[in-house]
Structure 1
Amino acid sequence: MKLIDLSTLLDPHDRDLLPPALSAAAGVVAPKIEYQRPDEAEGKDRFCEFFGCTHEDLPDGEGWGSEVLTDMSSHCGTHVDAPMHSGSRCEGQPARTIDQIELDELFCPGVVLDLRAMVTPCGAITPEMLNVAMDAAGVNDVAGHAVLLRTGQERFRMGDPGFFQYPGMTRESTLHLTGLGAKVLGTDAVGWDRPFATMAADFRRTNDRRYLWDAHKAITEREAFIVQQLCNLAALPVSGFHVGFFPIKLARTSAAPARAVAFLSGKGAAA
C-alpha cells in the first residue's frame, strides 16, 4: 500500500504573497502562527507557567514547543466543504454541517480526470470536457466515487500570476457529475467555481444572478462534498485507488481543513 499526500502545506509566509485586492482572504490561505520554540523564551516561559518553575529549573535548559494559530478560516488550505457552505438547505432538507458527515462518506474510490489540454485561464469547465476526460481515462461509472479534477493549477504557487486565474466548474458541469452519482468533487484549483472576478463580470454584463457562485449553489440541488486546493494529482493513476478526506471535526461549521490521502495498491504514477 502506497500513500500519496494530496494536501497543501499551510505556510503563514504565503499570506504575504497575496495580491492586495485579496488580502481579506488571508485566512483561507494559511493561519497566522505564533511559534513557541523549546529553546527560545516563549517555549521556556509557557513551560514554567504550568510547572511553577524558573528557566534555571528546566530539565535540559529547554521548555516545550507549542504554536498558537489565529486568523484561520474553516476553508483554509485543502478543505472539505459541507453542503451547508452552499446554502442552508440541500435537496429540500436542512443542509449538513461538517460534523454531520461520516468518515466513511469521505473514503471512497477515486478517479482523476485530466482536463489540462482543454481548460483555459478563468474559463468554464463544461460537461463536454468532463465526458472527454472520462473517455480518455476509460471511466464510465463514477457513482460513489471521488472525482478529482486535474486542471494543471498545481504547477502554480502562491504569488504566481496564474494561481488565481484558474478554470472552474459551473452549475451544469457540477450537476453533471452529481447526476452520475459522484459524491466527492475535488480540484487542484484554489476554487471550485470560476474566479470571483470572472463571475462578477458576467453578472454585471448580464444582470443574471445565475452567474453568482453557480457551481457551489448546484450542491443545494444535489448533495455532494467539494474539496479544494488538492495537490500531487500527477502522482495518481487515473483510477484504481481509494482516497480519504479527513476534516477536523469542528462543530456546526460549513467546512474544515482536511488531510487528503490517496491509497494506492499496485498502481503506477500518472504521466
Structure 2
Amino acid sequence: MKFVDLSHTFEDGMPGFRQKNDDGTHTEYTAEVYPFFTHEESREKYEGKSAFEVTEMRFQTSMGTYLDSPYHRHPEGRDISDLDIGELVLPGTVVDARGLAGNEELTVDALPQESALAGTAVLFNFGWDEHWGTEQYRSYPYISEAVIERLIDADVSLVGVDTLNADDHQNPARPAHTRLLDEEIFIVENLCNLDSLGGESFRFFAVPIKAKDTAAMPIRAFAEVDQ
C-alpha cells in the first residue's frame, strides 16, 4: 500500500478566510506559529547539557485542511470531541469536478451511481488546490443544492472539497453546511493532491485532535491506497 498526503502545510501566516467588517475593511483568518521558548533560551535550564524548543500557535480552527463537525452549523450538534475515529476513517471516492470556473456550480451529472457512495467519503477534485495562496483561490467552484441532496439520498458519510468552502460564499443560507451537517455528514475543506487518487481504491483519514467544545479542527488528511 501507499499513502497520499491530502493536506496543505500548516504554517505561520498561511491563507485563510477573509471576513468583511461593518466598516468595509476585512479581517483575515490566519495562523501564528512561533517559539514559546527557543533552544537557546532553554539551554541554561539544563546546565548546557541539552536544549529544547516548545512551539506556540494561535489560529482559528477553520484553518488549513480541516474538518467541520455538526456543531459548526447546529448548536445542538456533536462537536469535534464527540466524533468517533471510526466515523473519520472511510472508504473514499474521488469525483472529477475539474474544468469549472470560479463561482460555477457542479451539477449532479458529475456524480457516480448512488449505490457506490453509501458510507463513503466523497471528495470533489475541482483542481483548485493549484490556486492555494493566491487571490483566485477565493473565487471557487462549489457543489449545487441538487448535488447536496443527491449525496444525502446516497447516504454518504463525509464530503470533502479542494476549495476554500463547500458552499457558494455568495449564498448566506450555506446549504451544504446546513443540510449535510444536519444529516451528520461531515465536511472537509482545503484538500489537495486529489489528482493522485483518480481511479484508485483507497481509505480516507480525517482525524483531528480530540478537542472539546470545538466546531472545526485542522487535520492531517491522507489516503491509504490499495496496491
Amino acid at match of 1:114: D
Residue number among 18, 36, 57 corresponding to 1:69 in the alignment = 57
- The match for 2:98 is 116
Residue number among 57, 63, 78 corresponding to 2:65 in the alignment = 78
Shift of 1:104: 0.6
Instruction: Measure, in 1, the Cα distance between the counterparts of 2:72 and 2:204.
Output: 22
Residue 106 of structure 2 contacts residue 144 of structure 2 at CA under 8 Å; is this kept in 1? yes
Amino acid at match of 1:255: A
Residue number among 169, 182, 185 corresponding to 1:224 in the alignment = 185
Amino acid at match of 1:176: R
Instruction: Measure, in 2, the Cα distance between the counterparts of 1:140 and 1:12.
Output: 42
- Structure 1 residues 19 and 258: CA distance shift in structure 2, 3 A: closer
Amino acid at match of 1:82: S
- The match for 2:158 is 184
Say if 2:61 is the partner of 1:100: no
Residue number among 118, 129, 141 corresponding to 1:154 in the alignment = 129
Amino acid at match of 2:132: R
The structure with more radius of gyration: 1
Instruction: Measure, in 1, the Cα distance between the counterparts of 2:118 and 2:215.
Output: 24
- Structure 1 residues 19 and 175: CA distance shift in structure 2, 3 A: closer
Shift of 1:239: 4.4
- The match for 1:203 is none
Shift of 1:175: 2.2
- The match for 1:24 is 27
Shift of 1:59: 1.6
Tell me the SS of whatever aligns to 2:178: helix
Residue 175 of structure 1 contacts residue 222 of structure 1 at CA under 8 Å; is this kept in 2? no
- The match for 2:2 is 2
Instruction: Report the RMSD for the aligned CA atoms in angstroms.
Output: 2.4
Residue number among 38, 42, 54 corresponding to 1:46 in the alignment = 42
Amino acid at match of 1:77: G
Deviation sequence 1:57-96 (CA, Å, 0-9, x none): 3126xx21221112x11111111110111212xxxxx311
Instruction: Measure, in 2, the Cα distance between the counterparts of 1:127 and 1:223.
Output: 21
Residue 157 of structure 2 contacts residue 186 of structure 2 at CA under 8 Å; is this kept in 1? yes
- Structure 1 residues 25 and 174: CA distance shift in structure 2, 3 A: farther
Shift of 1:34: 1.3
Instruction: Measure, in 1, the Cα distance between the counterparts of 2:97 and 2:60.
Output: 29
If the length of structure 1 is used for normalisation, what is the TM-score? Answer: 0.74
Instruction: Measure, in 2, the Cα distance between the counterparts of 1:127 and 1:18.
Output: 27
Gaps of 5+ in 2: none
Residue 200 of structure 2 contacts residue 226 of structure 2 at CA under 8 Å; is this kept in 1? no
